[in-house]
Structure 1
């Protein structure tokens, strides 16, 4: 309780801490929507000999999308069945994306705890902000790379799990008298969401660079008034000199009377 009471929780209300909270939350959504995915597609094979048909073939696949290891049994319409394997291994881009998200989650949580409970040590000798800035820059770059790679990987996963494309690769579907149909496409809305969260994380980490940069002290020279800036104008009373309107030479006060001079 004393530790919590001594924590500087006001930093959470400031941009530096508030953005870290968003990074922590968005990282959870990124790796959860991708890493927990399980999909299913369904198709049918109707043979000329109806007794050999299979009208409901279910194919399940999941993260990390090593589709070349996923297979299903399809009738050959010749009295037996054959194993049909899906095509492609997209585990590298998916696992890379999830790994970046997990490490971003851990770093955000650690950085937030440092902001709250170790603020003095964080600012000591300016080392904390400098390391924080470098780490933030690295994570911003990693989010760019991993999100782009996973977006491409997801596009390939959709192509490889499209029942129409699978049917095109099944020899039984090209035999006269046989009919193959797709019954259900896999639902990939969760995976689409993971890509969106990936690029949202990219925006957050790039935006947070500025707030961390200001903590390093490197921004101080850019925030000073530029040389040659106009100085503060003197008070109105001093604008015409200490003499005022009617004092001293060159003043604007009234001179001698305009009345007629005695002659």
Structure 2
């Protein structure tokens, strides 16, 4: 390829090393969110015959709970059709989308740093575009991580069996309902943590990218005292 000058030296510099970390952290952020699958369960004891039924409902990314049936049987002499409550797909999909876009941009930036750094630094537009995109991604990580953190809190509440039984009329009149367990959400907690770690990385990287632009004022060169002309003598 014309202009290609392969050099891995920039990966040892902050501008390249931090971009490599952003690439790795973006993978962890969207993978821990989009790859999650869990379930919640409820144990129902009928009042009329003391029969015990256990119902399980699986949920996964993108967490459209209102489309997932929970109890859809004739139970305790009553026909029950119940769905989980809530739709948290918007915040989850937004978070995953930002992670994937950041992942792709990091690949493009690393190719530029490693193969075309001379073109990047000789031109004026490259560093400026890189800086603007970096700032935008830092802002998007803040928004998406905050939104997904709130969505995760609501998701935990909506999938809690104690919350579910309060919304089922069967558990109020014809049966006694109790929690039968819910899957842990440790990986989803990790996704939020990686989201805010990405925010820190992109904010820090913005400074190093800014230094590559011509907006960064170079320090004024101090005049060598040896070259200072002697003061004129007064006659």
TM-score after normalising by structure 2: 0.89
Residue aligned with 2:178, SS: strand
Equivalent of residue 189 in structure 1, options 183, 186, 191: 186
Which residue of 1 is the match for residue 232 of structure 2? none
Note the C-alpha offset of 1:153: 0.7
Alpha carbons 1:76, 1:172 under 8 Å: kept:
no
Partner of 2:230: none
Greater Cα radius of gyration, structure 1 or 2: 1
Question: Take 1:110 and 1:231, find their aligned partners in 2: how far apart are those partners?
Answer: 43
Tell whether 2:30 aligns with 1:63.
Answer: no
Number of corresponding residues? 226
Long gaps (5+) in structure 2: 228-235
C-alpha separation in 2, matches of 1:28 and 1:180: 40
Shift of 1:152: 0.7
Matches within 5 A, 1:32-43: 32-43=31-42
How well do the aligned residues superpose, as a CA RMSD in angstroms?
A: 2.3
- The answer to which structure has the higher strand fraction is 2
Contact 2:80 2:170 in 1 (8 A): no
The unaligned stretches of length 5 or more in structure 1 are 235-263
The structure, 1 or 2, with the larger RCO (C-alpha pairs under 8 Å, 6+ apart) is: 2
| Preserved contact between residue 30 and residue 191 of structure 2 (Cα < 8 Å) | yes
Q: Is the 8 A contact 1:136 1:209 kept in 2?
A: yes
* 2:220 corresponds to which of 205, 208, 224: 224
Instruction: Name 2:168's counterpart in structure 1.
Output: 170
Q: Is residue 2:10 matched to residue 1:11?
A: yes
**1:73 shift after superposition:** 2.0
CA distance in 2, matches of 1:182, 1:51: 17
SS of 1:215 mapped into structure 2 = coil
Paired residues of 1:49 and 1:77 also in contact (CA < 8 A): no
* Corresponding residue number in structure 1 for 2:29: 30
The alignment partner of 2:77 has SS state of coil
Mapped contact 1:16–1:212 kept (Cα < 8 A): yes
Distance, in Å, in 1 between the alignment partners of 2:214 and 2:35 is 42
Alpha-carbon displacement from aligned partner over 1:141-163 (angstroms, at most 9, x marks no partner): 11011111111111111111110
Deviation at 1:28, TM superposition (A): 0.1
Which one of the candidate residues 81, 85, 88 is aligned to 1:87?
85
The answer to whether the 8 A contact 2:42-2:180 is kept is: yes
Question: C-alpha separation between the residues in 2 aligned to 1:224 and 1:50?
Answer: 89
**Hey, what does 2:231 align to over in structure 1?**
none
